Amino acid sequence: MVKILFVCHGNICRSPMAEFVLRDMVNKKGMGDQFEIASAATSSEELGNPPHRGTWEKLREHGINPAGKYAVRLTRDDYQEYDYLIGMDQWNIKNMHRICGGDPDAKIRRLLEFAGRSDNIADPWYTGNFEQTYADVLEGCEGLLEHMEAGGVL
């Protein structure tokens, strides 16, 4: 089983979007039982809150229901628990290294790296552009799945 943890600042916009998009993708391919997919925050500001209304609406537009998701915080133990810890931007990556005590096994990556891009996924909390965030998350998740399939992980 491949264990993936998506991480953003508050765990209410980008990381839950990625969690549910990838979960939907693998379920549609009949591979859902091969994955454990979750998401977490690097901050404690939104702990216990459901996904942002904009994230919820964008996922629902695509037939994805994020019900039951509430923000949780990344812990040092998560580093040992997951195979991939995937941040949305450079600040998430920096904070993930700090929280996890480094990255000796090279598990921490930025999502858009899997799409061959070096840029960040913009935070729709600030931009208000949930459509662009969804497009970037989808592109990153597609690249991640291709990466795992090509590397023999699946």
pLDDT digit string (tens) for 43-96?
999 999 999 999 999 999 999 999 999 999 999 999 999 999 999 999 999 999
Domain boundaries, the chain: 2-149
**Residue 14 annotated as catalytic:** yes
- Average pLDDT over the chain, rounded to an integer: 96
Q: Is the pLDDT of residue 154 over 60?
A: no
What is the structure's pLDDT at 150? 87
Q: Which amino acid is at 105?
A: D
Give residue 153's pLDDT band: very low, low, confident or very high (50, 70, 90): low
What is the structure's pLDDT at 120? 97
**Residue 8 annotated as catalytic:** yes
pTM confidence score: 0.96
Among candidate residues 24, 78, 89, 123, the one labeled active-site is 123
The percentage of the chain sitting over the pLDDT mark of 90, rounded to a whole number, equals 95
What b/e sequence results for 45-75 when a residue is b if at least 16 CB atoms lie within 10 Å of its CB, and e otherwise? ebeeebbbebbbebbeeeebebeebebbbbe
Task: State the architecture of 2-149 in CATH terms.
Answer: 3-Layer(aba) Sandwich (3.40)
Among candidate residues 8, 13, 100, 141, the one labeled active-site is 8
**Residue 119 annotated as catalytic:** no
Q: Which amino acid is at 92?
A: N
Rounded mean pLDDT of 6-30? 97
Rounded mean pLDDT of 107-133? 96
Q: Is the pLDDT of residue 116 over 70?
A: yes
Helices 14-28 and 130-150 meet at what angle, rounded to 10? 50
What is the structure's pLDDT at 22? 98
What is the structure's pLDDT at 151? 78
Query: What span, in angstroms and rounded, lies between the C-alpha atoms of 137 and 121?
Result: 7
Q: Is the pLDDT of residue 152 over 70?
A: no
What b/e sequence results for 15-40 when a residue is b if at least 16 CB atoms lie within 10 Å of its CB, and e otherwise? bbbbbbbbbbbbeeeeeeeebebbbb
What is the structure's pLDDT at 102? 97
Among candidate residues 14, 23, 109, 110, the one labeled active-site is 14
